Amino acid sequence: MITKEEVEHVGWLARIRIDETKSDAYAGKLNSVLDYFGQLDKVDTEDVPPTYHVMDIVNVFRKDEVTESMPQDAVLSNTEYRKEGNFKTPKII
């Protein structure tokens, strides 16, 4: 059971100002959520396999195969900022 003081403490930790008048209401709402989780704990899930994802998806990565790269001229044709066969970028340091 969450108390008014615990709500105010969590608010302090989160740096959220909670009025004392509202902390009772928040405590009631949080306790109703915890009651719902208590109901879920009572459900028999012994024969239910764990669900890691709601959709039955598989690895969609392509095979890692060596292929030809794009020609350097084709890559650099998309920019006007090039120098000595490379992309020219602003100086960082």
Per residue of the chain (93 residues), give pLDDT as tens: 899 999 999 999 999 998 888 888 999 999 999 999 989 889 998 998 888 878 877 777 888 899 999 999 899 998 989 888 888 988 887
Domain ranges of the chain: 4-41
3-state SS, the chain, equals CCCHHHHHHHHHHCCCCCCHHHHHHHHHHHHHHHHHHHHHHCCCCCCCCCCCCCCCCCCCCCCCCCCCCCCHHHHHCCCCCEECCEECCCCCC
